[in-house]
């Protein structure tokens, strides 16, 4: 199933931060390096997926509470290789560039 392949690719990318681009919003970028490191580690280890935050089983969104920074959202989006349009097939890494965006919840 495509969603199984997408989930595997998303988990691999998110856990290694390799195979795509990582974007930090201004709110995350302004945090000290220690907090940014803690947040990145939490995103990489995230495994609290359920029907509420992962209705399609693709592991492309998550949220958690950081004790200092507050509520954090992260989201994986799929673009074509030119980064101009959405990918026509997110299950195919030859046609897809993944972008992981990490943000403070209030920036959403």
Does the pLDDT value for residue 1 go beyond 80?
no
Does the pLDDT value for residue 23 go beyond 80?
yes
* Residues present in the chain in total: 108
Q: How many domains does the chain have?
A: 1
In angstroms, the Cα distances linking 86 to 50, 61, 95 are 25, 17, 10
Question: Model confidence at 2, in pLDDT bands (50, 70, 90)?
Answer: confident
pTM of the model: 0.95
Domain that holds residue 98: 2-107
Percent with pLDDT over 90 in the chain: 97
Distance of CA 33 to the CA centre of its chain: 19
Q: What residues contact 85, with CB distance under 8 A and at least 6 apart?
A: 79
Does the pLDDT value for residue 38 go beyond 90?
yes
> How many other β-carbons are positioned within 10 Å of the β-carbon of residue 79?
18
């Amino acid at each position: 199933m495509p969603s199984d392949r997408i989930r595997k690719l998303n988990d691999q990318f998110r856990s290694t931060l390799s195979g795509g681009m990582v974007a930090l919003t201004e709110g995350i970028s302004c945090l000290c390096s220690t907090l940014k490191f803690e947040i990145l580690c939490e995103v990489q280890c995230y495994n609290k997926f359920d029907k509420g935050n992962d209705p399609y089983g693709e592991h492309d969104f998550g949220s958690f509470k950081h004790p200092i920074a507050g509520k954090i959202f992260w989201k994986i989006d799929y673009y074509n290789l030119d980064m101009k349009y959405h990918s026509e097939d997110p299950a195919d890494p030859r046609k897809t560039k993944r972008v992981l965006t990490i943000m403070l919840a209030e920036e959403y």
